[in-house]
A and B are shown apart, each in its own frame.
Chain A
Amino acid sequence: MLLRKLWHKAVNAMLTFPEDSTSPHRYVVLKRNIILIMCLVCIIPLALMAGINYSLYRVNLESEILRPIQVMAEDTRHAFEIFIEERLSTVRFIAHAYTQEELRDDKTLQRVLGTMRSEFVGFVDLGLIDREGILVGYAGPYDLLGKDYSGQPSFQEVSVRGVYISDVFMGYRKFPHVVIVVQRIAEDGSSWFVRATLDTGRYEALIASMGLRAEFDAFLVNPSGVLQTNSRFYGEILQDSPFPVPPGIHGTYTFQTRDPMGRDVLVAFAPIRTDYTLVIVKPLSVLLRSFYALKVEMLIIFGVGVVAIILAVVGVADVLVQRIRNADEKRATAIQELQHTQKLSSIGRLAAGVAHEINNPLAIINEKAGLMKDLVGLSEPFEHQGRFVGLTENILQSVERCRTITHRLLGFARRIDVQFERLDLNGVLQDTLGFLEREATYRQIDMQLHLDSTLPPIISDKGQLQQVFLNILTNAFSAVENGGRILIHTRFDVRKKLVMIDMEDNGCGMNEEVQKHIFDPFFSTKKGSGTGLGLSITYGIIKKLGGDIQVRSEEGRGSTFTILLPLKEGDDPGMGEEKV
């Protein structure tokens, strides 16, 4: 409940804008807010989902990448251990199976080496070293008999531990090899050593059997970080490894680093029981290639989605706001028209009421004055008789004037008879201008008539139209100076079936404020001399005839009134009676 309230409040706050402001800015604000809200609502969840997917996938993928490396490292380490263990066992077996004397015998040594080489690949040679460290028996491709090993660390170590496996080294033969030395202590207390060399080509073969991809690398290092096998990328055998072995690791250990070539790599260390460490290097770029591809796809989808959302939102907001704007404008126009109609209607009612109230006393004055006139006319001649006749005549004339006004006012509220007939509008105009010719000549006003001879006849009321034309032309006459110009055009709009009459003057024109009120009853710019009814009556008549009137005016430049009349009659005359 509270949440809904809050949400409502927030949306309202973003979507409301000052109602009273009429500037187009409000629509810009509204549009911006709609776009903002919709984009946020759509894009935030999308972005969140994309982000979550991304990180989850990344985490999964990393474990997916790590696991095979660890498995491979384990397997290979195991293979190495077995390989070395086997060789060591073999040498140990020989040391225990044969006596020193037997091994001193060249033939026996040769035969043993032959058997070893046939059963276990990798053995290069076999030798017997006596207690003092002198090589006393040898079988193999080199001539090493009589060499003294007593000074070498291998000799020291084997004397203590009974077994020694060397690092890879070149030795006398300039070829990488490994030495395995086993001490044998006989029952009689005498001791000797059996020494065998292994070709490290076997190491390479073991690594090759891992079937690594071209971008990957694997090699052995000794505890001081020296390569024990060739590396694809990081140097030859006996060179230093760029990846120092982390101290104190047990089991396979993986970490991410950057290699000397600048690639981001994943490095796995698998310590082998013989102090070696198997190192597997995989460049991350290769491992993550599919991930990168996916990332790019995700980015593209996300981007396209966001763009689509924004386009859709902007489009929808555009249409929406435009609709709102149109609706607002329509409403404003409707309200304005309604207000105008209501104003006319109420003023019309008032005028009718006043006129009606005045009409009765006016009738009485009319009769009284009439009677006076009758009596004066009938009586014997008396002093001032002529004056009396004149005075009553004046009263009757004034009453007649008032009668005209009240009837016009009443007619403003309820139009007097409308008689529709077929009319030649050009003819009606010419007739009407006849009334004004005298004044035009007198004031030297240039009246120009441009009548469209193709004008079709219209069904309308001649008397009303004449009143309309007279009203507008009277205004035009009072607007222009002496010697001014009044143009009258007639036109026909075939498509809309409208006849148009333009009445243009080059008089004083009107400002916007005046233009707004010219059709209001009793609104007059002719101070004191006008009733302010002319144009409002004109408006009423034209509306009743089913037409329309438009005004364009510029202060100091003149005004143009355009009357639009339908070819056929407008409102039902009976209905019109009820209207203003």
Chain B
Amino acid sequence: MKRKLKILLVDDEEEFIVTLAERLELRGYQSTIAEDGESALAKFDPDFFDVVVLDLMMPGIGGLDVLARLKEIRQDTPVILLTGHGSTREGMEGMRLGAFDYLMKPLHIEELVRKIDEAVPQDSSQAGREECG
């Protein structure tokens, strides 16, 4: 049996994140939602989550700050950034801070799924995971 990848979704747009979570669930991922930076940091369990999908534009603690804090907690958890700017600048900045990759909103779900799969380190215990996409 394949292991369900566990994703922490962080975005202040509730409608967006809820729907995205549901779509990922349909594709065989287990997602947890956080609607701002603080709750995301509170909910983040480095041993539980495989991937974090993080929006850069958020009230309160911004995406880049959250990213830095997540990286402090656990260096090797992959983080995929979402930008709504049409600009690559924040994305590039995030990559510099250790994000795995960035995507521009509106998303192509297939692209997100592919990135998530790429982000999770491939080891023998997770072999055959690709078939679940």
Most chain A CB within 10 A, of B84, B89, B109, is at B84
Interface flag for B133 (CB, 8 Å): no
Q: Pick from B13, B88, B106 the residue with the most CB of A within 10 Å.
A: B106
Contact of A362 among B85, B87, B106 (CB under 8 A): B106
> What's the tally of chain B residues with a CB closer than 8 Å to chain A?
19
Contacts of A409 in B (CB 8 A): 86
The stretch of A85-93, A155-163, A274-282, A399-407 in contact with B is A399-407
* A363-B88 contact given A370-B109, A371-B22, A378-B26, CB 8 Å threshold: no
Q: How far is the CA of A402 from the CA of B104 in the complex (A)?
A: 13
> In the complex, are the beta carbons of A363 and B86 less than 8 A apart?
no
Contact partner of A371 among B19, B87, B105, CB < 8 A? B19
- Would B106 and A359 count as touching, CB distance under 8 A? yes
Binds B, one of A410-418, A474-482, A545-553: A410-418
Contact partners of A368 in chain B: CB under 8 A? 15, 19
Q: Does A577 reach chain B (CB closer than 8 Å)?
A: yes
Question: Using a CB-CB cutoff of 8 Å, which residues 19-33 of chain B contact chain A?
Answer: 19-20, 22-23, 26
In the complex, are the beta carbons of B16 and A360 less than 8 A apart? yes
Are the C-beta atoms of B106 and A414 separated by less than 8 Å?
no
Q: Please name all residues of chain B whose beta carbon is closer than 8 Å to the beta carbon of A182 when the two chains form the complex.
A: none
- What's the least CB distance linking A374 to chain B, in Å? 5
Which one of A355, A366, A411 lies within 8 Å of B107 (CB-CB)? A366
Give complex CA distance A577, B85 in Å: 13
A494 within 8 A of B: no
Cβ of A416 and Cβ of B87 under 8 Å apart? yes
* Residues on the A chain within 8 Å of B22, using CB: 371
Contact indicator A359/B86 (Cβ below 8 Å): yes
Q: Any chain B CB within 8 A of the CB of A367?
A: yes
- Of B15, B86, B88, chain A has the most CB atoms within 10 Å of the CB of B86
Question: Could you say which residues of chain B place their CB within 8 Å of the CB of A131?
Answer: none
| Residues in B whose Cβ lies below 8 Å from that of A407 | 86, 104
Q: Is the CB of A363 within 8 A of B87?
A: no
Contacts of A414 in B (CB 8 A): 85-87, 89
Q: Mark B88-130, 1 if CB is under 8 A from A, else 0.
A: 1100000000000000111101000000000000000000000
How many A-B contacts are there with CB distance less than 8 Å?
A: 73
Query: Does A349 have its Cβ within 8 Å of any Cβ on chain B?
Result: no
CB of B15 within 8 A of CB of A406, answer no
Of all chain B residues, the one with the shortest Cβ separation from A410 is B86
Report the minimum CB–CB distance from A572 to chain B (whole Å). 14
CB distance from A22 to the nearest CB of B (A): 42
Contact B85 A356 (CB under 8 A): yes
The answer to whether B20 and A367 have CB atoms under 8 Å apart is yes
A213 to chain B, nearest CB (A): 106
Measured in the bound complex, the distance between the Cα atoms of B22 and A406 in whole Å is 26
Contacts of B84 in A (CB 8 A): 356, 359-360, 363
What residues of chain B lie closer than 8 Å to A97, measured between beta carbons? none
Chain B hits for A411, CB < 8 A = 86-87
Q: In the complex, what's the smallest C-beta–C-beta distance from A387 to chain B, in angstroms?
A: 21
Is A364 close to B, CB under 8 A? yes
Shortest CB-to-CB span from B114 to chain A, Å, is: 15
Given A362-B106, A399-B106, the answer on whether A367 and B86 have CB atoms closer than 8 Å is no
**Cβ distance A349 to chain B, nearest Cβ, rounded Å:** 13
Q: Hey, which chain A residues are within 8 Å of B85, CB to CB?
A: 356, 410, 414
Q: Take A364-B16, A374-B23 as given contacts and tell me if A406 and B86 are in contact as well, using a CB distance cutoff of 8 Å.
A: yes
CB of A373, distance to nearest CB on chain B (Å): 9
B91 vs chain A, min Cβ distance (A): 10
Shortest Cβ distance from residue A366 to the other chain B in the assembled complex, whole angstroms:
4
A265, B104: Cα distance in complex, Å: 113
Instruction: Compute how far the CA of A360 lies from the CA of B56 in the bound complex, rounded to whole angstroms.
Output: 12
| A577 to B86 Cα, complex, angstroms | 12
With known contacts A367-B19, A374-B23, A407-B104, A360–B87 Cβ distance under 8 A: no
Q: What's the minimum C-beta distance from B26 to chain A, rounded to whole angstroms?
A: 5
Residues in A with CB closer than 8 Å to B20 are 367
A357 to B: closest C-beta gap in Å: 10
Task: Note all chain B residues with C-beta closer than 8 A to A410.
Answer: 85-87
Identify which of A378, A399, A402, A403 gathers the most chain B CB atoms within 10 Å of its CB.
A403
Query: Cβ of A577: which chain B residues have Cβ within 8 Å of it?
Result: 87, 89
- For this complex, 25 residue pairs linking A to B, each with C-beta atoms less than 8 Å apart, are A352-B86, A355-B86, A356-B84, A356-B85, A356-B86, A359-B86, A359-B105, A359-B106, A360-B16, A363-B13, A363-B106, A363-B107, A364-B13, A366-B107, A367-B15, A368-B19, A370-B109, A371-B19, A371-B23, A407-B104, A409-B86, A414-B85, A414-B86, A414-B89, A416-B88
| B contact residues vs A (CB 8 Å cutoff) | 13, 15-16, 19-20, 22-23, 26, 84-89, 104-107, 109
**A-B interface, 9 closest residue pairs, ranked by CB to CB distance from nearest:** A410-B86, A366-B106, A367-B19, A363-B105, A363-B106, A407-B86, A414-B87, A359-B84, A364-B16
15 new A-B pairs (CB below 8 Å) besides A356-B84, A370-B109, A375-B26?
Answer: A352-B86, A356-B85, A359-B84, A359-B106, A362-B106, A363-B106, A364-B19, A368-B19, A371-B26, A400-B106, A407-B86, A410-B85, A410-B86, A414-B87, A414-B89
